[in-house]
Amino acid sequence: MNDSLRELLRQSADTVVRPQLEFDQLVALADRRIVRRRLAAVTVSAVAVAAIVVGGTALGPDDATPSPAPAVPSETPTVEPTPTTPDQSPAASVPRVPSEDVRGWPTTSKNRAGAYSWDGRTCAYSQSCIPGFMHNGYGSGDVKITIEPGEGRVPEDWTPATVAGRPGAHRQVNAFQEVWWVEIHGRALEIQLTTRPGTKQREIDEGRAIIASMYTEKRPTELGWRLVFILTTDDWDSG
């Protein structure tokens, strides 16, 4: 079946001449790209710092209006604290998804809206993902969420907040970064939401909603549990 298709594909491929691939050139390209990524990261940080400084200067030390402290956003995950056993942690207000419908961490390609999870290892669909990192790359690419190991105890001076149905803490680091801290079965996690200058409020809200949707469930993973969350659009990927 389809032998002529196979033959034509083979003939087409035969028109390709041997490539002149220089290893050193590939290394140079890779190095340049790594440097560019680092520069971009530094630039984003610098712009964020500059925006904060400019914002502070605009108000001015003599400004009669007191500068409001960076409030915890109204969309901060405010899952109702639930006096539950740790494995039944989701608050009543956080809808649960049947376990079989929960995927692993979003892949590096486009991921459809639905329930995903973090267990430190497992990717959705395939092996290709960067666990703990995702951004709305199929949207503006301006919003990033990361999950990383955190300090072993509740950081001081942070605002109490409920995270993944557990008592945790929240900190507005600057205009473009906020962090939630939570301890799950003895493992402290920091969930970070990072945006850029000019990010649409809708996208910031979407990022916060993802964090607000988090809950844990017992699973036979290396940790013995996983952190489930809901992506409401197909904009998110981990590449």
Partner 1 sequence: MGRPRGTSAFTELVEHRGHALLRTAYLLVGDHQLAEDLLQEALVKTLIALPRIRDISRIEGYVRQTMVRTVIGWRRRRSFHERPSDALPEAPIDDGADVVASHPLLVAHLRGLPPRQRTAIVLRYYEDLSVAQTAELMDCSVGAVKSHVSTGLARLRERMGPSLDLVPTGEEELTS
- Residue ranges in contact with partner 1 by CB under 8 A: 1-6, 8-16, 18-19, 21, 23, 26-27, 29-30, 33-34, 107-110, 125-126, 128, 137-138, 239
Q: Which is nearer to partner 1, 16 or 69 (CB)?
A: 16
Q: Which is nearer to partner 1, 78 or 109 (CB)?
A: 109
Closest separation between CB of residue 38 and partner 1, Å? 12
Separation between Cα atoms, residue 115 and residue 112, nearest integer Å: 9
Separation between Cα atoms, residue 143 and residue 176, nearest integer Å: 9
Separation between Cα atoms, residue 205 and residue 222, nearest integer Å: 32
Closest separation between CB of residue 27 and partner 1, Å? 7
3-state DSSP assignment of residue 59? helix
Separation between Cα atoms, residue 80 and residue 73, nearest integer Å: 16
Where residue 224 falls (left for φ over 0; alpha for ψ -120 to 50; beta otherwise) is left
Closest separation between CB of residue 9 and partner 1, Å? 4
Helical segments of 186-233, H only: 201-212
Separation between Cα atoms, residue 63 and residue 43, nearest integer Å: 30
Angle value at C-alpha 99, between 97 and 101, nearest 5 degrees: 70
Q: Which is nearer to partner 1, 18 or 71 (CB)?
A: 18
Q: Which is nearer to partner 1, 17 or 58 (CB)?
A: 17
Closest separation between CB of residue 98 and partner 1, Å? 18
Q: Which is nearer to partner 1, 22 or 151 (CB)?
A: 22
Closest separation between CB of residue 95 and partner 1, Å? 25
